[in-house]
Amino acid sequence: MAASLAVGLQRAGAKVGIMDADIYGPSVPHLFGVKGRPHIVEEKGPEGQIIQRMDPIEADGVKIMSIGFLVGPDEPVIVRGPILHRTIEQFLRQTAWGELDYLIIDLPPGTGDIALTLSQLLGLAGAVVVCTPQQLALIDAVKAINMFRKVKIPVLGLVENMTGEIFGRGGAKQKAAEMGVPFLGEVPINAKIRELGDAGRIRAAFDADSPALAPLQHVCEQAAMQIAKSLLETPKMPSLEIL
Ligand SMILES: Nc1ncnc2c1ncn2[C@@H]1O[C@H](COP(=O)(O)OP(=O)(O)OP(=O)(O)O)[C@@H](O)[C@H]1O
Ligand SMILES: [Mg+2]
């Protein structure tokens, strides 16, 4: 969903970056079908000092940075909490993002460790919570929403993914209403979407004949609207330059 959001916003004309903060299971490079190691670039700091940064790798017009670029595909990343914090911080500081309209950050499921770190480092416009329709997934979504509220990251809304026969339908919409958060839309479970993800062709989910086109576009529009609203209510300058 994070990758799709990045592609959708890029297609609409925005300058978009995506940071894969799922240290334990970085899947963003795979979805975009990219490999490789980021180039190191040297930039001049405010006092003339040389700062080394990593160029994100670009695919489909989206700038991508992932821990997946730095470790082998089958290597696990084994780090403890405090190091995790530093890793994320370094990632943010040392990536030469350039000028962006949106930086999408893909978080791992579960605990709030990384969300907490990010909330301390950046003025985030908000969080999009993604879940599947079944009760068990909704319990996690409720926890995620409460966690973001606790660390003062605005919740932009809830997305239901994999709607359909297997997991059901409508659970997320109902939960969003109960929790007073916007519902951003639903994306059906569909073999084509899975195939495109596996093949590293996530952009093709937006092709004219893709079953995901309309639902993804809807989610992207709703998310962009909520981001704009959030920034109007609480203006933020999430400038990476000052990090
Ligand atoms: N609507 C969909 N229909 C079919 N397959 C999907 C759909 N959405 C995602 N997938 C596939 O399901 C798998 C898991 O998706 P994804 O990696 O986005 O989940 P995730 O929530 O980020 O997982 P994790 O929580 O482990 O990080 C991928 O193979 C992806 O291509
Ligand atoms: Mg993931």
Mean pLDDT of 10-37: 93
How far does the centroid of ligand 2 lie from the alpha carbon of residue 51, in Å? 31
The number of the ligand nearest the C-alpha atom of 3 reads 1
Q: Work out the pLDDT band at 237, boundaries 50, 70, 90.
A: low
Residue-wise pLDDT tens digits, 131-160: 999 888 899 999 999 999 988 889 999 999
pLDDT tens for 62-94 read: 999 998 888 777 777 777 777 778 888 888 888
Instruction: Tell me: pLDDT of 242 over 60.
Output: no
- pLDDT surpassing 60 at residue 180: yes
Place of tokens 């990219």: 34
Which residue has the least CA distance to atom 25 on ligand 1?
A: 109
Helices 171-179, 135-150: inter-axial angle, 10-degree rounding = 30
Residues composing the chain: 243
Domain boundaries, the chain: 2-235
- Calculate how far, in angstroms, residue 241's C-alpha sits from the geometric centre of ligand 2: 27
Please tell me if the CB atom of residue 22 comes closer than 6 angstroms to any atom of ligand 1.
Answer: yes
Nearest-CA residue for atom 27 of ligand 1: 108
d(CA 188, CA 186): 6
Which one of the ligands is nearest to 1 CA? 1
Regarding predicted confidence, which is higher, 14 or 117? 14
Inform me whether the pLDDT recorded for 106 exceeds 50: yes
Residue-wise pLDDT tens digits, 200-213: 999 999 999 999 99
- Note the pTM of the prediction, 2 decimals: 0.92
Structure confidence at residue 223 (pLDDT)? 98
Query: Which one, of 104, 163, 117, 155, lies nearest residue 137 by Cα?
Result: 163
Starting from the CA of residue 185, give the closest ligand: 1
Q: How far is the CA of 27 from the centre of ligand 1 (A)?
A: 10
Long-range contacts of 173-180, Cβ-Cβ distance < 8 Å, separation of 24 or more: 175/131, 175/138, 175/141, 175/142, 179/142, 179/145
Token representation of residue 48:
């003339």
Pocket of ligand 1 contains residue 106 by CB under 6 Å: no
- Fold designation for 2-235: Rossmann fold (3.40.50)
